A and B are shown apart, each in its own frame.
Chain A
């Protein structure tokens, strides 16, 4: 009886339906909390880029703290690849991964303008490829649009202890503080991650041993990412 096809089919069907209902129910109930957590996580990584000018540790912030800063001090803009601001859109609605898949002329990029004690900081988002999977980050620029205030990096699946150090080891992003994206004549040089000797301290930081591919990924991501924002940065500079 227990091994008859009829019984097996019934058993499996009932089990599947019961389990599916339980899981679907849980997912529906918890979805708003998941979305909120995800949004706070992304906002924290934006704030991490301006950590040097904040007096509170971003990691210790609660969801309300983060939202408070976003409501009060941050202007969320979206710019296109010609440097125009797109009205009616907020930076947090932009999924950079999807945007970068579009043809070059149609891409849109998120831009966060953080205001603190009368100073404006421009936070741009960049995305590139590490060794195993995507890497991404936020770069905060001073109002001269060249000096880096701070950066935050994240990754989907770099090796712990090697590539993952771009996020896990605070000393790596800390190196970017005070570096210059542009040289004296106004050409984009970006910041390179180099091995061994640093002979151009304004535009170079020290790489992580054993994580060459990830570090090269960071170099490429920085250059290409800034390049995307260049039309907008140039128009800002003219005004």
Chain B
């Protein structure tokens, strides 16, 4: 009996496709190893695109896509990429994916493409993507690399959306303005929105007193907000506090 138990063990050890380690690849970059609040990468676009939630949301999806697939392709090619030109190869992969995102967005949602303008192109220089390729995808299997890319994209997107939520609500007095989905438009100054702040009756009148805070629209507000989020994050997750 004991022998059979021992023999069965290697079978059981067959790695699950989405086990504990894989889950950690997704959750770590959202919390313990967040690209923005812990590694302080990708700040440039986080400052620039977060004036409205909807474009930030699109930007986050774009980064998740680019990060995940750049990781996947780099990992697939990792044993063929010549070491001396590996950075250039990574850059070509990222640039190709970003161009694909840009062309698709231009066809699907032209107004958002106009709003994000240069920042979609600038995903190429987003240090998160390149950083993950160098640090993770060059040394790990494709599936794990893909998940790591998704995780890092989500970690970036989560912070982007939190910042955008504050900036849009307090800077413009709207929520989800410019979104093509009618039901998503929460607060705004026209009848298209669920809560219309210019309405003469109903729930919108409760918010009519609000004067937009112009500081929140400027990039400096994003700086304060990100700094605040870093502070709160560390207060809550004490592992991150540097004891030295």
What residues of chain A have their CB less than 8 Å away from a CB belonging to chain B?
A: 2-3, 7-8, 11-12, 15-16, 19, 22-23, 26-27, 30, 33-34, 37-38, 40-41, 57, 60, 157, 159-162, 170, 209-210
- CB-based contact B84/A34 at 8 Å: no
Given the complex of chains A and B, what is the CA–CA distance between A41 and B106 in angstroms?
Answer: 12
- CB-based contact A57/B88 at 8 Å: no
Q: Which of B87-111 contact A (CB under 8 A)?
A: 88-89, 92, 96, 99-100, 103-104, 106-107, 110-111
6 CB-based A-B contacts, threshold 8 Å: A3-B82, A3-B84, A8-B84, A15-B89, A60-B192, A210-B214
In order of increasing CB-CB distance, the 6 nearest A-B pairs are A161-B217, A37-B110, A33-B107, A8-B82, A19-B96, A30-B107
Which chain B residue lies CB-closest to A170?
A: B189
- CB-based contact A23/B110 at 8 Å: no
Given the complex of chains A and B, what is the CA–CA distance between A209 and B99 in angstroms?
Answer: 37
Contacts of B24 in A (CB 8 A): none
- CB-based contact A2/B110 at 8 Å: no
Which chain B residue lies CB-closest to A156?
A: B117
- CB-based contact A161/B51 at 8 Å: yes
- CB-based contact B106/A37 at 8 Å: yes
Given A11-B85, A12-B88: 10 more A-B contacts, CB < 8 Å: A11-B89, A23-B103, A26-B104, A30-B104, A34-B103, A34-B106, A57-B192, A161-B51, A161-B171, A209-B214
Contacts of B51 in A (CB 8 A): 160-161
Given the complex of chains A and B, what is the CA–CA distance between A37 and B104 in angstroms?
Answer: 12
Residue B61 is within 8 A (CB to CB) of chain A in the complex: no
Q: How far is the CB of B199 from chain A (nearest CB, A)?
A: 15
Residue B186 is within 8 A (CB to CB) of chain A in the complex: no
Q: How far is the CB of B57 from chain A (nearest CB, A)?
A: 17
Indicate the size class of the contact surface on chain B.
20 to 34
- CB-based contact B107/A16 at 8 Å: no
Q: Beyond A11-B81, A12-B88, is A161–B106 a contact (Cβ under 8 Å)?
A: no
- CB-based contact B92/A27 at 8 Å: no
Contact of B107 among A19, A37, A41, A170 (CB under 8 A): A37
Contact of A161 among B84, B110, B190, B218 (CB under 8 A): B218
Given the complex of chains A and B, what is the CA–CA distance between A60 and B107 in angstroms?
Answer: 18
Q: How far is the CB of B5 from chain A (nearest CB, A)?
A: 45
Contacts of B88 in A (CB 8 A): 12
Which chain A residue lies CB-closest to B110?
A: A37
Given the complex of chains A and B, what is the CA–CA distance between A161 and B84 in angstroms?
Answer: 45
- CB-based contact A23/B99 at 8 Å: yes
Contacts of A12 in B (CB 8 A): 85, 88-89
Contacts of A38 in B (CB 8 A): 110
Contacts of A15 in B (CB 8 A): 89, 92
- CB-based contact B106/A16 at 8 Å: no
Given the complex of chains A and B, what is the CA–CA distance between A110 and B219 in angstroms?
Answer: 37
Residue B23 is within 8 A (CB to CB) of chain A in the complex: no
- CB-based contact A16/B83 at 8 Å: no
- CB-based contact A34/B81 at 8 Å: no
Contacts of A3 in B (CB 8 A): 82-84
Contacts of A7 in B (CB 8 A): 82
The 8 A CB mask of B164-205 against A (1 = contact, 0 = none) is 000000010000000000000000011010000000000000
Given the complex of chains A and B, what is the CA–CA distance between A103 and B129 in angstroms?
Answer: 48
Given the complex of chains A and B, what is the CA–CA distance between A3 and B86 in angstroms?
Answer: 11
- CB-based contact B80/A11 at 8 Å: yes
Q: Beyond A57-B192, A161-B218, is A34–B82 a contact (Cβ under 8 Å)?
A: no
Q: How far is the CB of A156 from chain B (nearest CB, A)?
A: 9
- CB-based contact A22/B82 at 8 Å: no
Given the complex of chains A and B, what is the CA–CA distance between A23 and B93 in angstroms?
Answer: 12
Q: Beyond A19-B92, A23-B99, A41-B114, is A11–B107 a contact (Cβ under 8 Å)?
A: no
Q: How far is the CB of A177 from chain B (nearest CB, A)?
A: 17
Given the complex of chains A and B, what is the CA–CA distance between A60 and B193 in angstroms?
Answer: 12
Given the complex of chains A and B, what is the CA–CA distance between A38 and B111 in angstroms?
Answer: 10
Contacts of A33 in B (CB 8 A): 107
Contact of B103 among A26, A60, A157, A210 (CB under 8 A): A26
Given the complex of chains A and B, what is the CA–CA distance between A15 and B92 in angstroms?
Answer: 8
Which chain A residue lies CB-closest to B215?
A: A161
Contacts of A209 in B (CB 8 A): 214
